[in-house]
Chain A
């Protein structure tokens, strides 16, 4: 277990983060829980980018892209939170199962 980290170790971590994020997005009934799943998914992708930047010939491009991912994730979290606040103002709950007004 205590060997030097190589590419596969980082990809393992990125995979676990990604799967946890997807399960969080799919199963949480709290809208902010869904947003946390999105953050986990983006962090899994960032771990992958940085790992490939360090251990393969990808070079600095991986780090630049992870910088853009961080910036875009912050922007998307801000807008998503504004939408959640509007949802709360209209329904007085953040339970996503209550958002069924468009149900045919």
Chain B
């Protein structure tokens, strides 16, 4: 399993770096698909089976296809590349390395995080949600309804965020359809 983790981790990280380095936006879309697919693989390895499936369905199969359609509709020539000057590339690389080292400096301080080997499988009865067997769907569904059987009476239900996200999606649907409508040409009679 750690071999798969290494493969998916390398694909995700190198794909992300390739997105930054690529000059053509179509190549960037390809490397982004590679990276996000590998992130879905990482989700499966971390016992988040529903999140991994949702990532593949919604992100790779929906959002990235939408981005590719956007690239197609806004293409401005077969060999059009918007180049960056070398000075900008060096500065961007330096800033990236500094930012990454700053983020890495916070990583080893894991005394504050209450780590436990398999918390989800321990708090819920194994028949209900043994996440290592891919049973996170039912507790997730219950949590979105506001019931938290894994945490008990004091658990936070997620019914209100669910409803807010539904209304948000409706607003986004109407807004995007309005923004991208076909404009009527004004005929001056």
Seen from chain A, the residues whose Cβ lies within 8 Å of a Cβ on chain B are: 1-5, 7-13, 15-24, 26-27, 29-33, 35-37, 39-40, 43, 46-47, 50-61, 63-64, 66-68, 70-79, 81-86, 88-89, 92-95
User: Do the beta carbons of A58 and B119 come within 8 Å of each other?
Assistant: yes
Is B73 at the interface (CB under 8 A from chain A)? yes
User: Do the beta carbons of A17 and B110 come within 8 Å of each other?
Assistant: no
- Bound: A35/B28 CA distance, A: 11
- The number of chain B residues with a CB under 8 A from chain A is 87
**Which of B16, B54, B84 interacts with A17 by CB under 8 Å?**
B16
**Which of B2, B59, B120, B176 interacts with A2 by CB under 8 Å?**
B2
Chain B residues with CB under 8 Å of A51's CB are 46
User: Do the beta carbons of B66 and A77 come within 8 Å of each other?
Assistant: yes
With contacts A63-B48, A78-B66 known, what are 12 further pairs, Cβ within 8 A?
A: A1-B6, A5-B2, A17-B12, A27-B84, A37-B19, A39-B63, A46-B43, A52-B113, A53-B48, A60-B129, A63-B51, A71-B58
Nearest-neighbour CB distance to chain B for A2, whole angstroms, equals 5
Sample 20 A-B pairs with CB under 8 A, ordered by A number.
A9-B5, A12-B9, A17-B35, A32-B67, A39-B64, A46-B51, A50-B42, A56-B116, A59-B120, A60-B129, A60-B139, A63-B48, A64-B144, A71-B169, A81-B66, A82-B179, A86-B179, A88-B73, A93-B76, A94-B76
Which residue from chain B places its CB closest to the CB of A54 in the assembled complex?
A: B46
User: Do the beta carbons of A78 and B119 come within 8 Å of each other?
Assistant: no
User: Do the beta carbons of B70 and A67 come within 8 Å of each other?
Assistant: no
Chain B residues with CB under 8 Å of A32's CB are 25, 67, 70-71, 74
Which residue from chain B places its CB closest to the CB of A6 in the assembled complex?
A: B115
Q: Sorted from nearest, which 5 A-B pairs have the closest CB atoms? A: A82-B179, A20-B16, A75-B172, A82-B180, A15-B103
